[in-house]
Chain A
Amino acid sequence: MTNRIDEKFTALKRDNRSAFIVYITGGDPSLERTIEIAATLERAGADVLEIGVPFSDPLADGIANQLGAQRALQAGATLPKLLYTISLIRSRISLPIVLYSYLNPIFQYGFPQFEEDALAAGVDGILFLDLPPEEGIDSSHAHRIHRIRLIAPTTPEERIRSITGHASGFVYYVSREGVTGERDDLAGSIPERLGQIRKHTTLPVVVGFGISSPAQAAQVAAWADGVVVGSAIVRKIGELGKDPGLSQKLLDFVTPIGDAVHSVVKGT
């Protein structure tokens, strides 16, 4: 069985375009609204949806995502409810969905059961923030649910080799030392680092952390196979909150970023 992530990147590659990957916190501002937000993001041009599992102690996240997780938890989000919500999202949209999580919520759920249920709900990949490959958790569905791995600016070359060896779906390059969050400037040396990573893998390599404006997104799209935008959108969702016009306003906010990513046609 093919995975939606593979299909998506194959199609984008054919068009010489980069993926526009959008991160939101599951259950922010509520689980119901997450369904509406997911559908909106598909309309706004998202190629991959990354859904964060809200956690009480998100130590790799900046303030925007911390607040997103807090809102989701306050509104009653739990992992079982989120998986159910994703199954409802799955019936409405065809985008690949990646779950982005700290380990403890999944650990308490039980990993094998989580994988079964995530797969049944229509999840295509998982990314753990605090689980280096050394602490590997064995997957019984490795070929059906991709394990996205992070590579950091500090990761030395030998480690890149071992991490990519454990990765599937795509590889996520964290563009800067630090937590998630919007930044005015792009981190340095992204193209060089991508070059290094590509020596070790043929998987698509996407870049995230600190990208928020259409201009930044377009710049990164020229280098990478995908661009992740998160905090800016989570912040916007936080601002719009219970606004009945949330969908339209979110669409207006996100579409230009997606267009910027898709405007870049890469040379062959």
Chain B
Amino acid sequence: MQPNVQIDTSQLPDEQGRFGVFGGVFVPETLMPAIEQLREEYARAKTDPEFGWQLEELLRTFCGRPTPLYFAERLTQKLGGPRIYFKREDLLHTGAHKINNAVGQALLAVRMGKKRLIAETGAGQHGVATATVAARFGLECVVYMGETDMKRQALNVARMEFLGAKVVPVTVGQATLKEAINEAMRDWVTNVRTTHYLLGTVYGPHPYPMMVRDFHRVIGDETRRQILAVEEKLPDLLVACVGGGSNAIGLFYSFLDDQNVAMVGVEAGGTGILPGQHAARFQGGRLGVLQGTKTYLLSDEDGQIQLTHSISAGLDYAAVGPEHSYLHDIGRVHYDYASDDEVLDAFQLVAKIEGILPALESTHALAYVIKHAREMPPNHVVVVNLSGRGDKDVDQLAQRLPRLT
């Protein structure tokens, strides 16, 4: 029998934004009032039926919710293991789950009277989502993006520009997601009275990790209904990739209290678990404080943040959302990783036998399932969060992969 651990996860975070020892608010003083304002406005919006109605309407008519739960029949046959379903967040408007959060925060920005949105982006999906809602609500939009990422996700840069956003290249450090967040924070500190920082994952100071989770929990809420309708039982396993952790927590959250539903978060294993070659915070990480929150991160013993590497820009980040750190430490979610090479193989397999080009981020989750399917009982049901589509990665992949095999 399983030990019956009763964790009331719905009560987290506490008033200070803590998930156990993780989370909190670690920001320059200039931002404190804006964070307080956001916390208050979000608390009000949460209980305002008008807000709920507007959000639901936008998610349905603008974003395309609910997304399908798709039975990956040929992948299931091929692997000879459990029945595999894909939660099709890739079919959402703009091509990834990121839009769920962008729409919610844009509504809040409008309620707070902020006329300007800023965002960081790695893969460009969150940048595109932010540019999209800015256009939809008539707000000014500036997106910070590392120069390295602008090259590998050029398609998304063009999309943001067509949507009317200004994309500002960030050239310092390794010029990826972490540096883009630093630059967005600097902008926010400077323009805090007029600007809302539309943070793209379950990261940063409270209330972001909680609020972004709440905006994405619709993924798991829908999955629950959908899987019950087709399988008449809850899934045995949920799998999602973890960058900051928003698509993963979005899928997991509604199932946290169902002790029989196992969960795996898949981080970027890069080219190996050695400093600078991966972004698997639960492999080489330690507790630390970065960009507003206390969490597991890749830092050396002197407190300097380490370089990271991943084939996918969206997972190429040195820290992980504080709620994941908590779920890791209490043992509720298991965290594993997939290497760049495993991801490339998984991408080709899923493309060829399922007719879906997944985003490289989401492909990490697929790679985990492909690797471990044979260890799982055939009567089990697995749901993989297909957090985004791979169009943005086609250029990069065309250079690395053979087109005809």
Instruction: Please give the residue numbers on chain A whose beta carbons come within 8 Å of chain B beta carbons, in ascending order.
Output: 55-60, 62, 66, 70, 73, 78-80, 102-109, 129-132, 134-135, 149-156, 159, 163, 174, 177-179
B29 touches A108 (CB 8 A): no
A104 touches B305 (CB 8 A): yes
Q: What's the minimum C-beta distance from A138 to chain B, rounded to whole angstroms?
A: 15
Tell yes or no: B290 within 8 A of A by CB.
Answer: yes
A79 touches B303 (CB 8 A): yes
Contact among A57, A58, A107, A132 for B27, CB-based, below 8 A = A132
A159 touches B32 (CB 8 A): yes
The 10 closest A-B pairs by CB, nearest first: A105-B303, A152-B30, A108-B303, A178-B190, A104-B303, A56-B304, A78-B302, A59-B182, A59-B185, A150-B29
A129 touches B192 (CB 8 A): no
What CA separation (Å) do A155 and B37 show in the bound complex? 12
B304 touches A73 (CB 8 A): yes
What CA separation (Å) do A105 and B289 show in the bound complex? 9
* Interface contacts beyond A135-B24, A150-B28: sample of 19 additional A-B pairs, CB < 8 Å, sorted by A: A57-B178, A57-B179, A57-B182, A58-B182, A60-B189, A80-B302, A107-B303, A108-B299, A108-B302, A130-B289, A130-B292, A132-B29, A132-B32, A151-B29, A154-B34, A163-B29, A177-B191, A177-B193, A178-B190
A177 touches B30 (CB 8 A): yes
Given contacts A59-B185, A132-B26, A155-B32, are A105 and B190 in contact (CB under 8 A)? no
Chain A residues whose C-beta falls within 8 Å of the C-beta of B330 in the assembled complex: none
Chain A residues whose C-beta falls within 8 Å of the C-beta of B290 in the assembled complex: 57, 104
Q: What's the minimum C-beta distance from A62 to chain B, rounded to whole angstroms?
A: 8
Chain B residues whose C-beta falls within 8 Å of the C-beta of A152 in the assembled complex: 28-30, 32
B305 touches A177 (CB 8 A): no
Chain A residues whose C-beta falls within 8 Å of the C-beta of B34 in the assembled complex: 154
Given contacts A56-B304, A107-B289, A108-B302, are A154 and B193 in contact (CB under 8 A)? yes
What CA separation (Å) do A129 and B30 show in the bound complex? 10
Q: Which residue of A lies closest to B32 (CB)?
A: A132
Tell yes or no: B25 within 8 A of A by CB.
Answer: yes
Contact among A66, A109, A151, A159 for B303, CB-based, below 8 A = A109
B291 touches A57 (CB 8 A): yes
Q: What's the minimum C-beta distance from B295 to chain A, rounded to whole angstroms?
A: 11
Chain A residues whose C-beta falls within 8 Å of the C-beta of B289 in the assembled complex: 102-104, 107, 130
A132 touches B288 (CB 8 A): no
Chain A residues whose C-beta falls within 8 Å of the C-beta of B54 in the assembled complex: none
Given contacts A154-B33, A177-B192, A178-B190, are A134 and B16 in contact (CB under 8 A)? yes
Chain A residues whose C-beta falls within 8 Å of the C-beta of B286 in the assembled complex: 108
Q: Which of B16, B29, B181, B287 has the most CB of A within 10 A?
A: B29
Given contacts A59-B291, A60-B189, A135-B26, are A155 and B303 in contact (CB under 8 A)? no
A159 touches B33 (CB 8 A): yes
Tell yes or no: B50 within 8 A of A by CB.
Answer: no
A132 touches B25 (CB 8 A): yes
Tell yes or no: B375 within 8 A of A by CB.
Answer: no
Q: Which of B24, B287, B302 has the most CB of A within 10 A?
A: B302
What CA separation (Å) do A102 and B182 show in the bound complex? 13
B303 touches A55 (CB 8 A): yes
What CA separation (Å) do A79 and B179 show in the bound complex? 22
Chain A residues whose C-beta falls within 8 Å of the C-beta of B31 in the assembled complex: 154
What CA separation (Å) do A159 and B30 show in the bound complex? 11
Chain A residues whose C-beta falls within 8 Å of the C-beta of B291 in the assembled complex: 57, 59
